[in-house]
Chain A
């Protein structure tokens, strides 16, 4: 390995800083490269610190909106037979309260925290795909705006936050209310999914060198597991939303029991997402607690390994208990039993974490400051909510409490316990990092107690009124003595809680404006996010650390100045590049030099085009939808076309005597892993679609259909064969490029094959029997074949992008990632396509089997 001084001199890089003056010079050079410009240029930001704060601030705004909606419901329910709101308005208000809190506050808030904090705590300079982070933010903002504006326009969703069919179907919701939810929430969820993929890739391969998995701060494990849960949990909801919107817009009867559909299919798809969703919300907050509690107790975290096992167990377990939301739909006892047991046992991994935190507190000397107050608030509310959850896991009890206010009380205890209290504790803990100021603390303690007392007054009483029989989602109730005073006190408690939240927000704003300035680490913490000047510079670390201890035991006071002087990796600038490092997944050994894109308006334009496509679907202007979808696709192709370099660089020095290949020439750059995990999400969606077909086959009414399924066998088999051939052509193209031969002929043949497959699928869909609008069998067959069309179409886009990048010199035998990705995508399309077509061909046999039922 060559010396860093010689290589930096010959590679166009500036040498590392050796003194305070040189550190200042390094700071200025890095700031110039990494900064976001002022004014309108802020709209082009791709920096994780800027976007993380945007996510969090926007989420807090939606929290306020959702909170106001919650208070409106409490005003309506404070007294019996109140006329504060019309029933239709009330339905919109409580639906939007739940939808905003879960989709526009909770998930985006945890994403904002992940985006802001994760790169810093892992010792890297940014996430893997900054433009994708920006796109995710804009999609969230636009999707949230669509949902919120619908409320002002009086057409907000009104079928409850979980939008059960048939209430949300065309018959009972003929207006666009349900479409707003389906399209708006799907818009936001797709952006969340892209961020989840980015989080996984960044945590696995973009940590500081030396940060092996056993040295990773526990927050990294929490976010990694959470993001993996997201790519598995969101696809069932996205699929369900697509199917329900297809039913509403085009008459495909997935959920219509008169035509072979089943409303329970929606419930299964929704709760397959919905239950893991609550753990997706809880785990990052638990990660924040696991980070704060040891610092506030002045010790190290107890039970690191046990917590990692518990997180993994909790993640898997959360996917196996969704039916506990459906205990009253008529499922057989045996199935009820194992979902019930699973739902009770899921408390065990949660309890492991609780006890680890208690043990940490017991081992150390807790400081009773404001963040610790909120930690106490978390313990009491979350444990109470968890215990009522175990009660609800017991089927006979659930049969009494289902759809009553007992359930409302339970989930507010776990949600507030798992989000609100840890969030405010984390805000007080990390606000010095964001702002460079510590809190004034004049209002914080009374604010906390108002929140705590108000919360318990609001929601504890709901346990009682629920057990006294008050159902949920009713806009008023009769003057039953026991309900009346409980509701009134609950509403009073709500106002107390709201005052508390308002005071807390004022207190935080006062900290931002008037707080005492602090230069470093006010908590004497030992994690890497404090090893930088605060507030952080746009580049984060002036040089990247090499980690030799567990990264929650960092000597921040020694490390920070050393990194500022450029003594870590990449303590210099080169070609104006935004550089960071890629590492081996398990050991943290540096493997590649990753150069990140700089500010660009492209994510904003792409999100605007996507929003236009969504709005045109709402307006049923499908020609405009097709046009805007094409614009969106073109912008994605443009973004891909611009990525990377138009020349080979070989190995470049990164400092400390190490040289690495640029990511464009690495064996597995971030884009590779991004596609791998995207395919995991896609496969989950495909599996959910197959489950949907089989579920309808086995349990939906009005099966078998009158029309006998009769797919053109020859055409279907030919399409399967051509899919396989397209995969071979893609492989041949890759081998040609890597072997320094021209790949274009093979790429053209692959494109022709995919076009032929698309043509065959269109013919098969047109000839489906029963017709897709006549029976769910036809509809699901159409969905499966459309899946193949979409994936073959995306394969064509991969080939188009690769062709453009070959022409511009962005692809070469050493920079062959385009064709690697193309090959992977087409392989996946061939496999899932064969399964989809095979299932459609198997439909007659499945229908015949139904005749064997007693």
Chain B
């Protein structure tokens, strides 16, 4: 095993990018659950409740989609070398997976009856 060449290194904060996609999914889950609980407890009308749930969902979907777009347009930073490329594709993978998950788990439920 020989020595490492000196490429500019992928910063440690790149690791933090592995989290935002699924953090936004979890945030959507929590916000929807909380809004539903509060709305039902305080007697919001079905229309108001459904609208607020949909708004929360759309905001989170837009945020994940936005992050995906930013990462996809930016592409892997060539100066970060092989590690940067690897992390870039993992980040994209988490964002795509989170987007699919948020749509599949939370989308259809908005068509169900609320508070019963």
Q: Which of B87-103 contact A (CB under 8 A)?
A: 87, 89-90, 93-94, 97-98, 101
| Inter-chain contact A698/B87, CB cutoff 8 Å | no
CB closest chain-A residue, reference B23: A316
Please indicate the chain B residues that have their CB under 8 angstroms from the CB of A589 in the complex.
4, 9
A342 pairs with B22, CB closer than 8 A = no
A585 interface contact, C-beta 8 A: yes
Contact of B4 among A210, A306, A338, A699 (CB under 8 A): A210
Q: Which residue of B4, B36, B41, B83 contacts A335 across the interface (Cβ within 8 Å)?
A: B36
Taking a contact as CB atoms closer than 8 A, the residue among A214, A587, A852 that contacts B9 in the complex is A587
A585 interface neighbour in B15, B84, B98, Cβ under 8 Å: B15
Among the listed B29, B40, B85, which residue makes an inter-chain contact with A332, where contact means beta carbons less than 8 Å apart? B40
Q: A313-B97, A586-B12, A698-B41 are in contact. Are A210 and B116 (CB under 8 A)?
A: no
Interface string of B15-59 (1 = CB under 8 A from A): 100100011011001001100111011110000000000000000
Chain B nearest CB, measured from A584 CB (Å): 6
Q: Are B104 and A319 in contact (CB under 8 A)?
A: no
Are B26 and A309 closer than 8 Å at their CB atoms? no
Tell me which residues across on chain A come within 8 A of B32, comparing CB atoms. Answer: 338
Q: Using CB atoms, name the residue of chain B closest to A589.
A: B9
Residues on B with beta carbons closer than 8 Å to the beta carbon of A130? none
Q: Which residues of A contact B81 (CB under 8 A)?
A: 587
Q: B11 is contacted by which of A213, A316, A586, A699 (Cβ under 8 Å)?
A: A586
B108 contacts which chain A residues (CB < 8 A)?
A: 337, 341
Say yes or no: B1 contacts A313, CB within 8 Å.
no
Does B14 sit within 8 A of A, measured CB to CB?
yes
User: Is residue B63 contacting chain A, with contact meaning CB distance below 8 A?
Assistant: no
Among B1, B14, B41, B108, max chain A CB count under 10 A is at B1
A305 touches B90 (CB 8 A): yes
Interface pair B93/A306, CB less than 8 Å apart: yes
Q: In the complex, what residues of A have CB within 8 A of residue B15's CB?
A: 204, 213, 585-586
A349 to B25: give the CA distance in the assembly, Å.
15
**Which residues of A, 325-352, contact B by the 8 Å Cβ criterion?**
332-335, 337-338, 341-342, 345, 349
Is A43 on the interface with B (CB-CB < 8 A)? no
How far is the CB of A692 from the nearest CB of chain B, in Å?
A: 14
Chain A residue numbers with a CB within 8 Å of B98 are 313, 316
Chain A residues with CB under 8 A of B87: 213-214, 586
Minimum distance in angstroms from A76 CB to a CB of chain B: 40
For B110, the chain A residues whose CB sits under 8 A away are 334
A520 at the interface (CB under 8 A from B): no
Residues of A128-169 whose CB lies within 8 A of B: none
Q: How far is the CA of A102 from the CA of B77 in the complex (A)?
A: 44
Report yes or no: A584 in contact with B12, Cβ–Cβ below 8 A: yes
Q: Are B43 and A334 in contact (CB under 8 A)?
A: no
B74: shortest Cβ distance to chain A, in Å?
17
- Say which one of A286-294, A505-513, A545-553 lies at the interface with B: A545-553
Contact indicator per residue, chain A 342-369, by CB within 8 Å of chain B (1) or not (0)? 1001000100000000000000000000
A window 514-560: CB within 8 A of B: 545-548, 559
Whether B29 pairs with A546 at a CB distance below 8 angstroms is no
A306 to B82 alpha-carbon distance, docked (Å): 17
**Tally of chain A residues near chain B (CB < 8 A):** 45
Asked if A391 is at the interface of the complex by the 8 Å CB criterion, the answer is no
Q: How far is the CA of A849 from the CA of B22 in the complex (A)?
A: 33
Closest partner residue, chain B, to A590 (CB atom): B4
Closest CB-CB distance, A16 to chain B, in whole Å? 15
Enumerate chain B residues within 8 angstroms of A186, measured Cβ to Cβ: none
Q: How far is the CB of B82 from chain A (nearest CB, A)?
A: 6
| Contact flags A291-326 to B (C-beta < 8 A → 1, else 0) | 000000000000001101100110011011000000
Distance in Å: Cβ of B79 to nearest Cβ of chain A: 12
Residues of A within 8 A of B33 (CB): 335, 338
Asked if A209 is an interface residue, CB under 8 A from chain B, the answer is: yes
In Å, the complex CA distance between A518 and B110 comes to 62
| B38–A320 touching, CB < 8 Å | no
Given known A-B contacts A548-B2, A586-B83, A313 and B12 have beta carbons under 8 A apart: no
Interface flag for A829 (CB, 8 Å): no
In the complex, A212 has a CB within 8 A of chain B? yes
A338 to B83, CA, bound (A): 36
Report the minimal beta-carbon distance from A311 to chain B, rounded to whole angstroms.
Answer: 10
CB neighbours (8 Å) of B22 from chain A are 312-313, 316-317
Q: A465 CB to closest chain B CB, in angstroms?
A: 33
**A442 interfacial contact with B, CB 8 Å:** no
- Asked if A212 and B93 sit within 8 Å, CB to CB, the answer is no
Chain B residues lying within 8 Å of A316, measured Cβ to Cβ, are 22-23, 25-26, 98
Given contacts A212-B82, A214-B82, A312-B22, are A332 and B4 in contact (CB under 8 A)?
no
B42-A852 in contact (CB<8A): yes
Contact across chains for B105 and A305 when beta carbons are under 8 A apart? no
Contact B1 A559 (CB under 8 A): yes
Tell me whether A309 and B4 are in contact (CB under 8 A). Answer: no
Question: CB within 8 A of A699: which of B25, B41, B112?
Answer: B41
CA distance A320 to B97 in the complex (A): 15
Set of chain B residues within 8 Å of A12, measured between Cβ atoms? none
User: A209 and B4 in contact (CB under 8 A), knowing A305-B86, A309-B90, A309-B93?
Assistant: yes
A334-B112, A334-B114, A546-B1 known; A586-B9 Cβ under 8 A: yes
A342 near B105 (CB under 8 angstroms)? yes
Contacts A213-B86, A586-B83 hold; do A312 and B18 have CB atoms under 8 A apart?
A: yes
Encoded as 1 (CB less than 8 Å from any A CB) or 0, chain B from 56 to 84 comes to 00000000000000000000000001111
Task: Choose among A319, A320, A853 the residue that contacts B41 (Cβ–Cβ < 8 A).
Answer: A853
Q: Which residues of B contact A545 (CB under 8 A)?
A: 1
- Which of B36, B41, B83, B101 is within 8 Å of A213, CB to CB? B83
Q: Please state if A214 and B83 are interface contacts (CB–CB under 8 Å).
A: yes
Q: Which of these, B1, B14, B43, B90, contacts A853 with CB under 8 Å?
A: B43
Partner of B14, one of A341, A349, A548, A586: A586
Chain A residues with Cβ below 8 Å from B1 are 210, 545-548, 559, 562, 568
Chain B min CB distance to A25 (Å)? 23
A317 touching B101 by the CB < 8 A rule? yes
Q: Is A656 an interface residue (CB 8 A)?
A: yes
Q: Which residues of A contact B18 (CB under 8 A)?
A: 312
Smallest beta-carbon distance A305→chain B, Å: 6
Closest beta carbon of chain B to A581's beta carbon, Å: 13
B46 CB to nearest A CB, Å: 11
A-B contact pairs, 8 of them (CB 8 A): A212-B10, A319-B26, A320-B25, A546-B4, A547-B1, A548-B2, A586-B9, A587-B83
Q: Identify 9 new A-B residue pairs, CB closer than 8 A, beyond the known A209-B4, A316-B22.
A: A204-B15, A213-B86, A313-B98, A320-B25, A342-B101, A546-B3, A568-B1, A699-B37, A849-B42
User: Which 8 A/B pairs are nearest by Cβ-Cβ distance?
Assistant: A214-B86, A316-B22, A309-B93, A854-B43, A585-B12, A337-B109, A587-B9, A212-B83
